[in-house]
Structure 1
Amino acid sequence: MKVLILSVTAGYGHHAAARAVSDQLLARGAEVKTIDVYQVLSPAVKQTIDKGYRLTARRTPALYRKVYGLAEHPHSGWIDTSGINMIQLFNKLNAAKFQRVLRDFPADLLLCTHVFAAQLVNEMKKRGVLTIPALGIVTDYTLHPYWEDVPCLDWIVTASELLNLAAVKRGLNPSRLLPLGIPIQAKFSQTLNLKEAAALLRLDPKLPTVLIMGGSLGYADSRKIILQLAHSPQPLQILAVCGRNQKQYSQLMKLKAQLKDSCTLYPYGFTDYVDIMMSAADCLITKPGGLTVTEALAKKLPMLLVNPLPGHEERNAEFLVNNGVAVRITRTFPVDEALHSLFLNPQRLDMMRAMMHLLSHPDAAEKLADFVIELGCQNSSEAKELNEGD
């Protein structure tokens, strides 16, 4: 069976989800190819989407929030924005060009980890030039704008069954919804107790350990957070993952030498050992990116949420806080007070972990891969029966 996974470079999550599903499909004997749609169609557009998303979300959050809100509810403002979608127009103009990819890799099924890729596939299926099954994967705890505009995709994979009502209200047929969860790597569902993880990281298992993450690009203001935690009344071990933010990593290495003995800092750059860090930690402080919080849910790691990007990450924060698995840090409820409150309330920590057990789908990638393989077997069987009938 051949599976083509279509992703888009706009943050880390879409590619990470693609990799998680790809690993599971490969393990089941499928032939898998993953491509960035706009790298094929137009590298210039790819760069515009990636850099435009990052710069607008960080530099002009109010504008990005407004645009995102209008895309979510195009009929709610003084102007109807339902027909304004430049990416959709670009996809329509380039659908024929993308057919060459399918000729080079004649897939039996398509997976789309970004709605822009799903729009392209929807256009091709609408024209009748694409007939194979296609699935979309939503990588946040919300239904992003435009997922309701891809009716030709056969199924939409969502983060939770608790999002079904919101999806139906947005116009999706419930029969198309697969609430399997956001696909993550299998290592996050593997059991590793705190003492074992602490030993691997050379930490003191008796001291409270806090993990700070700012996404793959290290967006969180980790230095400010650490300085606030340094005044905590209890000794702390702080693991700070800076991702690819080399400037932040250098700052934290300097800060490490300046901190008092009661607060020990361990800065990291980009690392593949986040699963071990989550197993060693008592709490995660992070911006609420879809993949990061899904990994934390799988590890049953309570979360303090900081600096959400406008739009999808703010929706993630709402979902997690409203379902009792996270605390939102604000200007009037700073991180040191939130952490102190959490650590003094072990019953609440237990309740958060129990809710995480109910919400998490650590085997989402495995279940999705099983669904895809079973679908491929069904299609092969039906094709065989048709050939024998002829």
Structure 2
Amino acid sequence: MKRSPKLMILTASYGEGHIQAARSLQQRLYSEGMKDVSIIDLMKEAHPLLHSITSTLYLKSTKSSKYGLDYYGWTYYMTRDTKPDGTWGKAFNYLGRKKLKEIVELERPDAIINTFPFGAAPELGREHGIPTFTIVTDYALHARWFHPDTYKYYVGAPELRLEMALKGFKPERIEVSGIPVREAFHQTASIPAVRSGITERFDKEKKLVLISAGSYGVLHHLDQMIYTLLEAGGCQLAVVCGRNEKLRQRLEATHGYHPHVHIFGFVDRIHELMAASSCIVTKAGGLTLTEALTLRLPIFIYKPFRGQEKENALFLQAKGAASIALSADDLAAQILQFLADPEIGRAMKRGMSFLPSGSAAETIVKDVIRSLESRLLQSV
């Protein structure tokens, strides 16, 4: 292309996954020479009050679901097969439309990239002659991702491409790219593990179990889990609390004295910690799972929340790449069995072979650029 195109990435801050995918794409676009790339948190920009309410409800739903009030899971399954021209579809596609129209008419981007299912984007794109590219950031399909005006889709596994084709989508409009994660994960996966400042404290003779327990963490019985694994012996634990400082302080007070329990707050270089681990206990968000898959790190999922997390977990369990536990005792038993039998880990890594090789961000970005160049040539 004679000039660097102007690209707009739409995302939403419900959890970190959609934002992280957007940033990974932006960095890759920069590395490919694209200079004008913006990221817009559309719900936050267009509906700040609604965004505040819904993001709070999203967080609280992970807590209330254990008491039987699973409103997020209920709405997920209720709207899973809605049509774009149906009542729910029209309502979803209206979200952010007015604000996005203002931005599009002001900025005049050459392409819009969705890392969150905004139906308003392909509709406005059609009206303004702007192609819209959508990255599905889960291993399960939901109707909200689909819109007939989307120029191209990028999915994480061949099964999703087949499922979309069976729903009537043109196969040539669906690319099995993988889900974009930070380049650091691909770099770490391609080189031998090295000891760094964050991993220097670990005992080289003991296997490391990594537990993600931050604000979107997975364990309601974290203390029980820690005690059970320590009693069995033969391993050490790294517990990551993210930005949940209250949890970090509590765990430091109760377990910080133990030489084989390592408590962390937010870890920027989490890829190094994951690379040093034998397995990870984590939530079932699409990005988090893809980070583990990229590093071929065996995955244990505890009580996945109904909705896309449960569907992600079931997909990976069917592949043999992850194990689901519905109680703390079952989870501890699964991990202890994994630590005692190396073949379990090897089998889980074989189950990860479905993941496309290479960087998803690179695959997507190069394909978007080719598509724009092709459209430009056709218009000449």
Q: Contact 1:300/1:357 (CA < 8 Å) preserved in 2?
A: no
Aligned counterpart, 1:65: 73
Deviations 1:169-205 (A, max 9, x none): 4443333211111000111112343453588433222
Q: How far 1:86 sits from its partner (Å)?
A: 7.4
- Pick which of 206-215 and 320-329 moved more: 206-215
Aligned counterpart, 1:25: 29
Written as runs of structure 1 = structure 2, the 5 A alignment for 1:157-306 is 157-190=154-187, 191-194=190-193, 196=195, 200-214=199-213, 217-218=216-217, 220-221=219-220, 222-232=222-232, 234-257=233-256, 259=258, 264-306=260-302
For the residues of structure 2 that align with 1:199 and 1:34, how far apart are their CA atoms? 31
Aligned counterpart, 1:3: 7
- Pick which of 25-34 and 346-355 moved more: 346-355
Aligned counterpart, 1:105: 107
Deviations 1:258-301 (A, max 9, x none): 54x5xx11111111111001110001111111111100000010
Q: Of 345, 351, 355, which aligns to 1:359?
A: 355
For the residues of structure 2 that align with 1:199 and 1:54, how far apart are their CA atoms? 29
Q: How far 1:381 sits from its partner (Å)?
A: 3.5
Code of the residue aligned with 1:188 in structure 2: it is F
SS, match of residue 79 in structure 2: helix
Q: How many residues align?
A: 368
4+ residue runs of structure 1 moved beyond 4 angstroms?
197-200
Q: Contact 1:287/1:305 (CA < 8 Å) preserved in 2?
A: yes
Deviations 1:325-375 (A, max 9, x none): 111112285222111111222122112222324425451011111112222
- Change beyond 3 A, Cα 1:185–1:138: same
For the residues of structure 1 that align with 2:137 and 2:353, how far apart are their CA atoms? 19
What runs of 5+ residues in structure 2 fail to find an aligned partner? none
Aligned counterpart, 1:84: 88
- Change beyond 3 A, Cα 1:215–1:289: farther
For the residues of structure 1 that align with 2:104 and 2:93, how far apart are their CA atoms? 21
Deviations 1:139-164 (A, max 9, x none): 1110123223x110111111111222
Code of the residue aligned with 2:296 in structure 1: it is K
Aligned counterpart, 2:134: 136
TM-score, scaled to structure 2? 0.89
Q: Of 43, 46, 55, which aligns to 1:41?
A: 46
For the residues of structure 1 that align with 2:357 and 2:309, how far apart are their CA atoms? 19
For the residues of structure 1 that align with 2:343 and 2:61, how far apart are their CA atoms? 40
For the residues of structure 1 that align with 2:14 and 2:273, how far apart are their CA atoms? 25
TM-score, scaled to structure 1? 0.87
What runs of 5+ residues in structure 1 fail to find an aligned partner? 76-80
Aligned counterpart, 1:122: 122
For the residues of structure 2 that align with 1:269 and 1:209, how far apart are their CA atoms? 17
